[in-house]
Structure 1
């Protein structure tokens, strides 16, 4: 699959950039500098980047249907307005586990999965925040819960627990939106990188950032590798479609764990224009 040239959109503005999302209400791209607890905002018309501190950790954000944002913070969720942060009750008290990555389903519910700071096996879970504020545990026994995104028709969800080195799918129950019938679709070899954040295009292909792989891969719904986007950094973390026509693929990157003398543009935001566009992210209905 052909794509346009790779563009570096920002300087290395994040230590651990993650979780990009396009917000159509103001035509801005938002992502997080996770362990700084900051939300970054890009105005694509002039390249300006602004920063907002939210909490000690902010792992993922999505727009809310009524304005503002929903966020996953270190041990739970938060609701954001322009001038306020409402921290919801913590889901757990263990300081060695934090939220990591998530997204919204077509029913307007916000999911986010966790990981132990030391990535200890089996200590993570996937949580779901309903529009009414209830929190449910969806999956347990995970290790590094990462990318989660739904296809355009809402019948399939793509998911990564990075420790498995797989990209899996769930069938989505049409009436309730419950995730069921988990199935491995892609296995990423260790020398290629570790699957991290992901997004889905209009053809149902999944774009996966490869931590320590210096690339984003696109896989067809049947698991075939159909595109490779190489980056000048080792640790791309996540990707999303944005822009007015949702045809730009934005990629976040991290400097975390790199040698002090690393001179790459790690921590910058990148953009490429694939042949196949994306579609709007689901918003939180609460």
Structure 2
């Protein structure tokens, strides 16, 4: 087992997903590190936990949403976005100030932006197939930084695989949450 993506909730608790090295279905979990140092298993049966704003499972080809409450944590799990197989697999993600979801697509050479209703409304195409994550940065949080992987690829076939890209997307992102010990 190994850890994959993580992030903090609005109350400063850190969530991080696990996955099996061999990507065996359902072996991973989503864990929460509380501010008192205790750890709670929040979800089980996860295959590849990716992109926390809360998207626990890449292998399903979907991004899930949860209701969030300080006392109860994550509840009411539901599908927010279904990614067509041909588009790639959802990996890391970010949320912008308008409440839209930006999803990096492993095997899809792109980042897709989805409305709160789950409708695709923008695409950032990239010269690398294995897109792993995206995050907003810059002085005004209005630049989308996008990471890619070259794992298993011939560098001659995809010379820009593994590079970091920046896209000016015309909307600011939300600041990242911080752990509060």
> Is 1:276 aligned with 2:171?
yes
Correspondence 1:223-242 to 2 at 5 A: 223-242=118-137
Structure 1: distance between partners of 2:8 and 2:23: 24
In the alignment, structure 1 residue 244 sits paired with structure 2 residue 139: yes
1:96-175 equivalence runs, <5 A: 97-149=1-53, 158-173=54-69, 175=70
Give, in angstroms, the shift of residue 177 of structure 1. 5.5
State the shift of 1:109 in Å.
0.8
Higher relative contact order (CA 8 A, sep 6+): 1
Mapped contact 1:105–1:282 kept (Cα < 8 A): yes
- Equivalent pair of 2:109/2:127 in contact (CA under 8 Å): yes
Cα deviation 1:87-137 (Å, max 9, x = unaligned):
xxxxxxxxxx10011110011111100111111001000011112211111
CA distance in 2, matches of 1:263, 1:212: 12
Using the size of structure 1 for normalisation, the TM-score is: 0.62
Q: Distance in 2 between matches of 1:178 and 1:270?
A: 34
Larger Rg: 1
The answer to whether the Cα contact below 8 Å between 1:160 and 1:197 also exists between their aligned partners in 2 is: no
Looking at structure 2, the residues matched to 270 and 108 of structure 1 have their Cα atoms a distance apart, in angstroms, of 29
User: Structure 2 unaligned runs (5+)?
Assistant: none
CA contact (8 A) 1:143 1:162 kept: yes
| Residue matched to 2:95 | 200
C-alpha separation between the residues in 2 aligned to 1:125 and 1:100?
10
Q: Structure 1 runs of 4+ off > 6 angstroms?
A: none
CA shift for structure 1 position 189 = 1.2
Secondary structure of residue in 2 paired with 1:191: helix
> What RMSD, in angstroms, separates the aligned Cα atoms of the two structures?
1.2
The gaps in structure 1 that reach 5 residues or longer are 1-96, 150-157
| Structure 1 residues 35-86: Cα deviation after superposition (integer angstroms, max 9, x where no partner) | xxxxxxxxxxxxxxxxxxxxxxxxxxxxxxxxxxxxxxxxxxxxxxxxxxxx
Q: For residue 24 of structure 1, what is the aligned residue in structure 2?
A: none
